[in-house]
Structure 1
Amino acid sequence: MLESNISERWQSEEPLDLMTMVLDVVESLAGLAARDEAERELFALERALAEELEDMVVPVHLLPCLYSGLGLAGDSETFFSIDNCLMNRVLVRREGIPVSLGILLIHLCRRFGVDAEGINFPGHFLVRIRSEEEGTVIDPFTGRHLSRHEIEQLLRGARGNLARLAPEHLKGTSDTEILVRLLNVTKAAYINEQQFGKALGCSELLLRLKPDCPFERRDRGFLYEQLGCGQLAADDFEFFIEQRPDDPIADVLKAQIAGLDLSPKTLH
């Protein structure tokens, strides 16, 4: 029933609130109790932030109150962990990675009347906050305003020393694309922990956002292969080959299919 409800909500023409979709992810991957936990913690954080901001100019003081006053922070010690991806755990710990903290920052900005949008920057998710006509780029990992030089350094860290900052690097992105980025990071974290069933859950959610995307189907095929579901893996690999016959990996996938056990399996 949950998967059906998510499909209906995510495929509706009505734009969905970013945090609502993120909580759908929590519920799908970790259960209803985890979603309830996230909603309680989010309400508590919103209430605490409102108290911190009382009688203050919100656009000026929101970041200091959130990061210094309420302890929101980036987790650099266990960066690629599930705790930094699932919003219930991010809210409980008040720690995360750029994309999860960025989602939380965008939500809180909008909740308190500040215009904010995500930037799908290479290697490091960023947030733009607008006050009147001006826009400031924020690193959600630290809560700091970034100079152009600092942004260029982030780009070179992700793309190499020859990379040059261009306008397209700082374009705002849609809430759906932010969710895609979160799901991809979450999938990678589950794969890193060899929780392939949970990673498959991320792939299924990604395919609700990007139906029939050949690359998502290819990646789901690799997860099916890890889970011993040869026929399902072959179906996804064949879809990729049909859609992207000139891609260099197509020949690799043909060899993969030849080596799969195609006998029926039950996926639990």
Structure 2
Amino acid sequence: MLESNISARWLGEEPLELMTLALDVVESLAGPQARDEAERELFALERALAEELEGMQVAQHLLPCLYQGLGLSGDSETFFSIDNCLMNRVLARREGIPVSLGILLIHLCRRFGVKAEGICFPGHFLVRVWVKEEGVIIDPFTGRPLSRREIEQLLRGAQGNLARLTPEHLKGADDSEILARLLNVTKAAFIHDQQFGQALACSELLLRLKPDCPFERRDRGFLYEQLDCGRLAADDFEFFIEHCPEDPIADVLKAQIAGLDLSPKTLH
């Protein structure tokens, strides 16, 4: 029932705020109590930031107040941790990774009247914040503005030394793209911890956003396989093969299907 309610909200005509979407993910994966905790932490952070900013120019001082005054920071020690993905844990610790901190930064900018947008940059989520009518690209992991050279270094780190920065790399993302980015990172963190049921829940949410995506159906099939649900895995693999017959992995999946146990099983 919970997932169907969230699905209905996401597919409704009324656009949802980015933070609302991120809190929906928390509710779906960790339950209503975790969402309530996140909302309390968010309210406390907003109130503390308002106190820090009192009497200041908001656009110029929001980042220093948030990162230096209130201790928001990137977690480089346990980067691929669930704690850095789920917004209730990010808010409680005030630590996260670029996409989770980026969502929080975008929300707070908008909350305090500063224009901001997310950038689904390769390998490292970025945020563009408008200060004095000029868009400045911020690394949400550190709260620091980036030079063009530093952005090019990030690109080469993600795509190799031959990669060249183009305007397309710095295009603003819509909220559904940012949500998909968060869900993909969260799914990867659950897979890293071998929590395949939770990873499957992330995949299901991704399929709410893009129901006919063959690559997400393929990935869900691999998760079903890990959970010994051979028939469900085969259905997803067959969907991928039908829609991407020229993809090199299609032949691999055909062999995979042949080795699956296709007897019915109940997934709890």
TM-score normalised to the size of structure 2?
A: 0.99
For residues 70 and 132 of structure 1, the distance between their equivalents in structure 2, rounded to whole angstroms, comes to 23
Shift of 1:196: 0.1
Shift of 1:132: 4.7
Match of 2:86 in 1: 86
For residues 44 and 203 of structure 2, the distance between their equivalents in structure 1, rounded to whole angstroms, comes to 31
Shift of 1:133: 3.0
Counterpart AA for 2:251: D
- The C-alpha deviation readout for 1:201-220, integer Å capped at 9, x for no partner, is 00000000011110010000
Match of 2:113 in 1: 113
Name the SS of the counterpart of 2:135 in structure 1: strand
- The C-alpha deviation readout for 1:9-38, integer Å capped at 9, x for no partner, is 101122111101100000000111110110
Aligned counterparts, 1:210-249, within 5 A: 210-249=210-249
- The C-alpha deviation readout for 1:176-212, integer Å capped at 9, x for no partner, is 0000000000000000000000000000000000111
Aligned counterparts, 1:93-242, within 5 A: 93-242=93-242
For structure 1, the residue ranges without an aligned partner over 5 or more in a row are none
Match of 1:3 in 2: 3
Name the SS of the counterpart of 1:173 in structure 2: coil
For structure 2, the residue ranges without an aligned partner over 5 or more in a row are none
Would the aligned equivalents of 2:59 and 2:132 in 1 still touch at CA under 8 Å? no
Would the aligned equivalents of 2:155 and 2:163 in 1 still touch at CA under 8 Å? yes
Shift of 1:137: 0.1
- The C-alpha deviation readout for 1:54-99, integer Å capped at 9, x for no partner, is 0000000000000000000000000000000000000000000000
Runs of 4+ in 1 over 4 A off after TM superposition: none
TM-score normalised to the size of structure 1?
A: 0.99
Question: Which range is displaced more, 156-165 or 106-115?
Answer: 156-165
Match of 1:262 in 2: 262
For residues 162 and 242 of structure 1, the distance between their equivalents in structure 2, rounded to whole angstroms, comes to 34
Shift of 1:136: 0.2
Match of 2:69 in 1: 69
Shift of 1:131: 2.9
Match of 1:20 in 2: 20
For residues 46 and 133 of structure 1, the distance between their equivalents in structure 2, rounded to whole angstroms, comes to 24
For residues 9 and 244 of structure 2, the distance between their equivalents in structure 1, rounded to whole angstroms, comes to 30
For residues 222 and 4 of structure 1, the distance between their equivalents in structure 2, rounded to whole angstroms, comes to 23
Match of 2:42 in 1: 42
Question: Which range is displaced more, 153-162 or 98-107?
Answer: 153-162
Output the aligned Cα RMSD. 0.6
Name the SS of the counterpart of 1:180 in structure 2: helix
Would the aligned equivalents of 2:18 and 2:179 in 1 still touch at CA under 8 Å? yes
For residues 33 and 13 of structure 1, the distance between their equivalents in structure 2, rounded to whole angstroms, comes to 27
Same amino acid, percent of matched pairs? 85
